[in-house]
Amino acid sequence: MKQDISQDAVAASTDTQIVIAPHNERYITPEVRKRLPELREKAHWVYHRLMEHYGEPTWRAHRPPLDELIITTLAQNSTDRNALKAFRTLKERFPTWEDVLRARPEEVIDAVRSAGLANQKGPRIQAILRKLKEEQGDFDLSFLERMSTEEAEAWLTSIKGIGHKTASILLLFNFQRPTFPVDTHVSRVSKRLGMAPPRASTRQIRAIWETVVPPEWYYPLHLNLIRHGREVCKARTPLCDQCVLQEQCDTYQGIRRWENA
């Protein structure tokens, strides 16, 4: 019965023209472009199947934007648990962001050591704070609300060490902007499904998802893909026999969709 519901939903939701946003144009290769209709059909099927299986993720209240940005920075090449531990230590040692900015670099590095790559992340955090202080006069990111999504992402990624993934997470979660973050789980699941070529960059994968599903799906689909990657489509030992996406998974079906990509 669930399969019938999904097929009806897919048929209804794919009966529109595919439009590539200007900021995604250069990431959609000719090979991907000609496959967009089939990718959209697959993407819509995946969305509905994951929603049936996991349900719609609850929109949680997020931390203040700057807190979220710092935590996301700490989570790069780390776990959420270690990133949060480092963030708590940072706030315990330096009660205000001004204190963090004025601290000696080695003190900040020591405070965030539990997140890993502290020698990079400590200076990166101070660089974020310094840019905010110099350009805005305070540590408030609310000015991003007055920018377009592209302008806000450009501002964030102008900071060394802040890439499109970190920027898109902040913009989606804190400012409800139409961006589709691609982390390691989303990337892995996307490639195994055949939604993107094996050598596609995370920015290319983001462009594909943003092109083939509507913006109102970005948040739930992003979170459900992450959950599926963590619980089923694991990096080393994927539980293919338990996967609800078998029917449309290129890897499981032995389909080589991207041989020429």
Known catalytic residue at 165: yes
Angstrom distance (rounded) from CA 208 to CA 43? 10
Angstrom distance (rounded) from CA 151 to CA 199? 28
- Cβ–Cβ < 8 Å for 201, 26: no
Angstrom distance (rounded) from CA 201 to CA 194? 14
Both tokens assigned to 24: 């995604």
- Cβ–Cβ < 8 Å for 184, 241: no
Residue that has been written with the tokens 């350009």 in this structure: 135
- 147 phi/psi in degrees, rounded to 5: -95, 160
Angstrom distance (rounded) from CA 19 to CA 43? 15
Angle subtended at Cα 169 by Cα 168 and Cα 171, rounded to the nearest 5 degrees: 60
> What string of DSSP letters covers 23-84?
GGGGGS-HHHHHTHHHHHHHHHHHHHHHHHHH-PPP-PPPPPHHHHHHHHHHTTTS-HHHHH
The CA distances from residue 173 to 18, 59, 176, 210, in Å, are 25, 9, 6, 16
Catalytic residue from among 42, 121, 165, 191: 165
Catalytic residues: 165
